[in-house]
Amino acid sequence: MKVAATLTVNGVAYPVELHPGTSLLAAVRDVIGLTGAKEGCDDSECGACMMLLDGKPLNSCSYLALQADGREVTTVEGLATGDELSPLQRAFLDYGGVQCGFCTPGMLISATALLDAKPTPTEEEVRIALSGNLCRCTGYDGIVKAVLAVAGS
């Protein structure tokens, strides 16, 4: 049995019909078609699937889509303005925070949430905020530098 709901993602309302057990990640990727958020572990371990729900980061692989009905979901696609990258996205490129890119959408979401809550974080605060996002490529330093470069600007 499917249930009708409306998911609001990056400011656009999507009427959907979902099985009750569908994760928010599956709904956004497979039903709505926004594939920026990635499925890594599917078990709340890697952060690749991170989205903002009412401005707070969460692992969308472990959150039921129907629980997001009536709330605001933001994915990495919502960070840019048209073709214009956000300052944080640009900084990830400039500081070597992107290699294979698999972790990048989740990293950007976590960093966005941090900077929204605390515009001038310390390096330690950045590292703590990103501790739920795993990266197997960059060694993290470029990512942290990118966030600090944008902080307070």
Q: Which residues bind ligand FES (CB under 6 A)?
A: 39-42, 44-49, 59, 61, 98-103, 135-138
**CA dist 47 to 17, 102, 123, Å?**
26, 10, 19
CA distance 126 to 143: 9
Task: State which H helix or E strand residue 25 sits in.
Answer: helix 24-26
Output 59 or 89, the one with its CB closest to ligand FES: 59
User: What type of residue is 96?
Assistant: G
Do the beta carbons of residue 72 and residue 54 sit within 8 Å?
A: yes
**Residue 40: CB minimum distance to ligand FES, A:** 4
**Residue 44: CB minimum distance to ligand FES, A:** 5
**Residue 92: CB minimum distance to ligand FES, A:** 9
Output 93 or 100, the one with its CB closest to ligand FES: 100
Residue 104: strand, helix, or coil: helix
Output 10 or 138, the one with its CB closest to ligand FES: 138
Q: CB 129: neighbour CB atoms within 10 A?
A: 21
Output 11 or 30, the one with its CB closest to ligand FES: 30
**Residue 118: CB minimum distance to ligand FES, A:** 23
